[in-house]
Structure 1
Amino acid sequence: MKSGTVSQDYDKNETDGKVGLKRRLGFFDSLSFLVGTIIGAGIFVSPKGVLEYSQLNIGVALCIWAACGVICILCTLCYAELGSSLPFAGGEYYHVRRGLGPIPAFITIWTLTLFIRPSSNAARALTFAEYVSRPFYSGCPPPELLKKSLAIGILLTLGVINSKSIKLATWVQNIFTILKMMALTLIIVYGFIEFATNPDASKPFQDAFNSQFPNAAQTAEAFFQGLYAYGGWNFLNYMAEEIKNPSKNIPRSVITAMCAVIVFYLLVNISYLTVLTPRELISSAAVSVTWADRMIPSWAWIIPVSVAISIFGSLNGGMFMLGRLNYAGSKEGHLPSLISMLHVRHLTPAPAMIISTLIACIFVIPSDLVSLTNYFSFSSWLLVGLTCVSLIVLRFREPNLERPYKVFLPLAFVVVGVSAFLVLAPIIQSPKVQYFYALLFMFSSIIIYIPFVHFKLKIPYFNKITCYLQLLLEVSPTDMFEDSKTE
């Protein structure tokens, strides 16, 4: 690719009639997708994890929440350079391929598309179903069959929305992001009212650091709990191909989104601790619901509804992102060509969305598959580390690449070090055979890569099946742009 021509070349698909994803997402849309994807059920349901592993030390817990946000900001700054200089779909997969080559990229997309992202979407859908059905089964858990049916139903609904209209998917994300931010604002405002009117509310913060301090292992666990709530900070790079003026909007969006999320997370936690004692907080399965029962008992139903809304918006963002990941992998020749085709009228990656939705639905059926996601958590940070290594490699390999935004390079080394710690800590601290299975699954992708990608082995009748599905789905191959290096 010719340096200095990224933005100019790639914006041609807006005007010359070529088949490709269009740049339709402005600053507010990008901000909504990022904030709406990050803020899911975590901040409503499980702040207790950070406080519990912080040994009920309020000061340490709040510092860990802030530190987790700072870590994610450092990561997003690195990703902002990659996204603004290489504004193409695929996120980590595309950047790893560009910097480290096809084999690490194939391992990345194999792990993300076949396990991490679909299982994450399935878990969100099941949590959404839990909160929607719980009011109808007071005092007892909803039936598993009902929850799974609702989860599959919401996955299919969002799959159809994202396949039919990018505009509608964006509208859904914007509306649900606004609604969840209103819910967080409600919690914050009532917390401040309690703080101002109740003299006892400030006592926990006066001696915030007087409790026992956590040891190194407990601190690491607290960080894992906090970083889980910030999950989704890297999603914007997956949709960089559809962002208007990416050189400006990507850095602005990620920095604004992360700063806003950090502030809201800290204020919400302060509101929880203003109303609930630390022991009450860690004994609650759903902190926000307990908070609502205490503060607004006659309107307590608002919080479970808000949690469901929050999960719905986060799930929509996750579905949108996963479709772009599959689309990018197909364009680069690592997935079947059908997946990179776009609907001829709507210009949406319909085949990519369909396959993403079906895989997520499969994960809903056996619940033990979703539970295995915990053992793949380290692999997410492994991919973050590989992505930042790619940034460092590209700085030296392609020094003339146009970089509208450049991160201070030592920060990339810091992120690589943090990623290495977060990869190794759970394995060393609590070694389990499931971690070996996760690594085995990741590297088993080589068995597929060598015959079908490297040697381009053809499956009999596969081309005929592709042609039939292309006609059935009314999709067309995308036009190629000067967006990547070929092997």
Structure 2
Amino acid sequence: MSKEGASKQCQDSGRELNKGVHLKRSLGYFDSVCFVIGSIVGAGIFVSPAGVLKYSQLNVGVALCIWAASGVLSMMCSLCYAELGSALPYTGGEYFHVNRGLGSLPAFIFIWTLTLFIRPASNAARALTFAEYVTKPFYSGCPVPDLLKKIIAIGILWVLGIINTMSVKISTWVQNIFTVLKMMALSLIVIAGLVLLGTDKGNSENFKDAFIGQVPNAVQIAESFYQGLYAFSGWNYLNYLAEEIKHPSKNIPHTVFTSITAVIVFYLLVNISYLTVLSPREIVSSAAVSVTWADRTIPTVAWIIPVSVAVSIFGSLNGGIFMLGRLNYAGSKEGHLPSIISMIHVQYLTPAPAMIVSIIIASIFVIPSDLLSLTNYFSFCFWLLIGLTTVSLIVLRYREPNLHRPYKVFLPIAYGVVAVTLFLVIAPIVQSPKVEYFYALLFMLSSLIVYFPFVYFKLRLPYFDKITCFLQLFLEVSPTNIYEDCKDQ
């Protein structure tokens, strides 16, 4: 068949398949709250308390303040995102808003860094951690074989990838169930700790003169802050599914207030419970604080906590996979990724090609797991992107003053977020300059090699249209309709 014939066949098939093909607004308020909480609550709250206390110089009062400050910063950032999401409820989250506010080039650098490194590496790390906790009971006292962990990690990535590809409803159901289970586990820790605190005055020893002790310096506070913020990561996922939320103008702000507030309260109470049972030195020396707490508090059923950690990681991984598929989908719709990635499965109405691409990249990261150590040096990139998103909000306030904004954040909050993100970008490089930071920056700038020929000058590769057509027919996917009206449906 000639190139023209193949192109015509593909276009005709696309027209036939494209009838009513777009993402559906199927997520309600409860689904959205479960998605955010489920994405945030992963392994962080079970392991980060040790890091926060360590860099706080075992100062209990400072450590609890760091947890509260991490929650407040996450809330401030979420409120900025709530304005953008409710005003522009389209799939793509931060990427879409940076593209709208700052232009195509910053958005392309954004999506290049996120989709090729940060997000796939994060999902791979979660999958490996899940495999570690699942297999640990079968290797008591022995290290789990790396090969087994990698096989399980890749398997769970593909299981969740298939679920998210086949049905938004099923993936939402999985997220809701696992969010409820992990909150029940945190409730167990909170209630047990409060009961012990209220029944035995000796358990309050760690809270007496909480601020007496060595005061950490600025560098140590920054390190402690990073540990706390790690446990809150996932707060920014909501805007990636804005195009699928019912009544986004109301549900997005309400979801932010509910979910972030709930996480802050639970995280503070869980840390109080840990400190009720364990001393600061015991917490710092523990590889998994929650497991040590369970061995001391509920030894007969201590297995509940490792299982709960695995459940938490599973739910957080599901949210990460769901989000990354939407990011790839949005980037393709804007012309920054191959067009096949922006297509929707005609039966399942999910971004199947985008999901498949994200799972393949994450699986690659699992194989040479040494690559995951580099993710620590990309933390400044993550906060740089958050800062750019908040700058986009400020730019749009002045450039598009008539844009309908159902919710408007107090503008000084946005300026405060920009200032904090600037500090979090510069701090790790200044306090511990390493060549890996240069590699991370070089990776971001390498996007220019792709951007100018293929996006700016729209260079077309030979046979690329034929490959796209073949994949479209093979995967039974179709180009989507134009963006739906952002009015509530």
Stretches of structure 1 that go unaligned for 5 or more consecutive residues are 1-15
| CA–CA distance in structure 1, aligned partners of residues 129 and 484 of structure 2 | 42
Aligned 1:231-246 pairs, distance under 5 A = 231-246=233-248
- 1:391 pairs, out of 390, 393, 397, with 393
2:487 aligned with 1:479: no
- 1:69 pairs, out of 45, 68, 71, with 71
Aligned 1:32-431 pairs, distance under 5 A = 32-431=34-433
Q: Return the letter of the residue paired with 1:462.
A: F
| CA–CA distance in structure 1, aligned partners of residues 251 and 463 of structure 2 | 44
Q: Return the letter of the residue paired with 1:384.
A: I
| CA–CA distance in structure 2, aligned partners of residues 482 and 418 of structure 1 | 35
| CA–CA distance in structure 1, aligned partners of residues 321 and 35 of structure 2 | 11
The alignment partner of 1:470 has SS state of helix
| CA–CA distance in structure 2, aligned partners of residues 238 and 459 of structure 1 | 30
Correspondence for 1:28: 30
Alpha-carbon contact 1:19-1:347 (below 8 Å) kept: yes
Q: Return the letter of the residue paired with 1:68.
A: S
Alpha-carbon contact 1:165-1:348 (below 8 Å) kept: yes
- Once the two structures are TM-superposed, the CA of residue 141 in structure 1 deviates from its matched residue by 1.0
Alpha-carbon contact 2:325-2:351 (below 8 Å) kept: yes
- 1:452 pairs, out of 428, 448, 454, with 454
- Once the two structures are TM-superposed, the CA of residue 18 in structure 1 deviates from its matched residue by 2.3
- Once the two structures are TM-superposed, the CA of residue 255 in structure 1 deviates from its matched residue by 1.2
| CA–CA distance in structure 2, aligned partners of residues 364 and 321 of structure 1 | 19
Q: Which runs of 4+ in 1 moved over 2 A?
A: 481-484
> 1:339-370 deviations in whole A, cap 9, x for unaligned?
01000011000000000000000000001111
The alignment partner of 2:143 has SS state of coil
TM-score, structure 1 as length reference: 0.95
Q: Return the letter of the residue paired with 1:146.
A: L
Alpha-carbon contact 2:341-2:351 (below 8 Å) kept: yes
Alpha-carbon contact 1:275-1:295 (below 8 Å) kept: yes
Aligned 1:434-445 pairs, distance under 5 A = 434-445=436-447
| CA–CA distance in structure 1, aligned partners of residues 230 and 46 of structure 2 | 13
Q: Return the letter of the residue paired with 2:192.
A: Y
- Once the two structures are TM-superposed, the CA of residue 207 in structure 1 deviates from its matched residue by 1.4
The alignment partner of 1:47 has SS state of helix
- Once the two structures are TM-superposed, the CA of residue 373 in structure 1 deviates from its matched residue by 0.5
Q: Return the letter of the residue paired with 1:198.
A: D
Alpha-carbon contact 1:293-1:300 (below 8 Å) kept: yes
The alignment partner of 1:172 has SS state of helix
Alpha-carbon contact 1:130-1:142 (below 8 Å) kept: yes
Change (3 A) 1:483 1:382: farther
Q: Return the letter of the residue paired with 1:170.
A: T
- Once the two structures are TM-superposed, the CA of residue 482 in structure 1 deviates from its matched residue by 6.8
> What is the aligned-residue identity percentage?
73
User: Over the residues paired in the alignment, what is the CA RMSD in angstroms?
Assistant: 1.1
The alignment partner of 2:141 has SS state of coil
Q: Return the letter of the residue paired with 1:236.
A: L
| CA–CA distance in structure 1, aligned partners of residues 315 and 31 of structure 2 | 13
Alpha-carbon contact 1:90-1:325 (below 8 Å) kept: yes
Figure out how many residues of one structure are paired with residues of the other and give that number: 469
- Once the two structures are TM-superposed, the CA of residue 212 in structure 1 deviates from its matched residue by 1.1
| CA–CA distance in structure 2, aligned partners of residues 284 and 482 of structure 1 | 50
The alignment partner of 1:457 has SS state of coil
| CA–CA distance in structure 2, aligned partners of residues 190 and 407 of structure 1 | 38
Alpha-carbon contact 1:88-1:483 (below 8 Å) kept: no
Stretches of structure 2 that go unaligned for 5 or more consecutive residues are 1-17
Alpha-carbon contact 2:85-2:242 (below 8 Å) kept: yes
The alignment partner of 1:424 has SS state of helix
| CA–CA distance in structure 1, aligned partners of residues 143 and 193 of structure 2 | 30
Alpha-carbon contact 1:65-1:265 (below 8 Å) kept: yes
| CA–CA distance in structure 2, aligned partners of residues 479 and 319 of structure 1 | 24
Alpha-carbon contact 1:27-1:249 (below 8 Å) kept: yes
- Once the two structures are TM-superposed, the CA of residue 45 in structure 1 deviates from its matched residue by 2.0
Moved more, 440-449 or 202-211: 202-211
Alpha-carbon contact 1:46-1:285 (below 8 Å) kept: no
